[in-house]
Structure 1
């Protein structure tokens, strides 16, 4: 895959504003582990290899287990995620796929069982931010770093 353009070079001021929004959302008080799960799940749904590479590495660095990362695409069928994480992941899917889901009342009701109003806004902004980064990376064909691999002997 060949990158189409470097969005940071093409529109540095707007991308700087996006970075600042990302930082504000990152510092909003949501748990770091929860934020990484949300970023990874949205990136899975959007098929964003660049963001998956970045956020799975960040999650591992924060102590996330391989098992939970492997099972994240099937979180709904696994007991490894807390009620709060499950509510956030359902909301992530509902908003990432909003044209199909229309953000169901049932998902919102579960969200409200686990998140304050302020946290709901912060989580929704997090989902919006990662979806925007996914669209930038996928649209402009950003390529994740590739470690050198040795051929099998």
Structure 2
């Protein structure tokens, strides 16, 4: 059971929503890449609400069931492009932040081959936004499973 409803607090969350919308609108990150990043961070954090939401949105946007099913094991498949693989590795590093030395130079150098400065900033911000939403939903125990595609914009 949810600890309290988030709907009355949507105005406080609007800056995060605006950042996410601005990233999508800028177009420096492909929509499918955005969906994969949102799903992967939500998997790591165990946010049922965000997994339900972003899984449904990704499928509605044309993402395949197969890629969503194997996303937790993306390293062991050839279903993801090199750019997507770098973004997923970057997502895992920034979501887990296992140490002050997280995001090793080798990964940064790989990312620089696929993302310019603006796209890399967008990717970092996107990961920060989804981690904030994951933590918010987990903290208030938002129940997953009831999301309707397009419900949040």
* Deviation of the 1:73 alpha carbon: 0.2
Q: Show the counterpart of 1:103.
A: 103
Counterpart contact for 1:36–1:55, Cα < 8 Å: yes
Q: Show the counterpart of 1:82.
A: 81
Aligned length: 145
**Runs in 1 of length 4+ with deviation above 4 angstroms?**
none
Counterpart contact for 1:84–1:114, Cα < 8 Å: yes
Counterpart contact for 2:39–2:55, Cα < 8 Å: yes
Counterpart contact for 1:94–1:107, Cα < 8 Å: no
* Deviation of the 1:142 alpha carbon: 0.6
Q: Which ranges in structure 2 are unaligned for 5 or more consecutive residues?
A: 148-153
Q: TM-score, normalised by structure 2?
A: 0.89
User: Cα deviations across residues 70-104 of structure 1 (Å, max 9, x unaligned)?
Assistant: 10000011111000000100000010011346111
* Deviation of the 1:43 alpha carbon: 0.2
Counterpart contact for 1:87–1:111, Cα < 8 Å: yes
Q: TM-score, normalised by structure 1?
A: 0.89
Structure 2 Cα separation of the partners of residues 60 and 120 of structure 1: 25
* Deviation of the 1:68 alpha carbon: 0.5
CA distance change for structure 1 residues 57 and 12 in 2, over 3 Å: closer, same or farther? Answer: closer
Q: Show the counterpart of 1:71.
A: 70
Q: Show the counterpart of 1:141.
A: 141
* Aligned-residue RMSD, C-alpha: 1.6
Q: Which ranges in structure 1 are unaligned for 5 or more consecutive residues?
A: 148-153
CA distance change for structure 1 residues 116 and 36 in 2, over 3 Å: closer, same or farther? Answer: same
* Deviation of the 1:24 alpha carbon: 1.3
Q: Show the counterpart of 1:25.
A: 23
Counterpart contact for 2:48–2:145, Cα < 8 Å: no
Structure (1 or 2) with the larger CA radius of gyration: 1
Q: Show the counterpart of 1:16.
A: 14
Q: Select between 74-83 and 17-26 the one with higher mean Cα deviation.
A: 17-26
User: Cα deviations across residues 112-146 of structure 1 (Å, max 9, x unaligned)?
Assistant: 11111110000110101110110011111011234
Structure 2 Cα separation of the partners of residues 120 and 18 of structure 1: 18
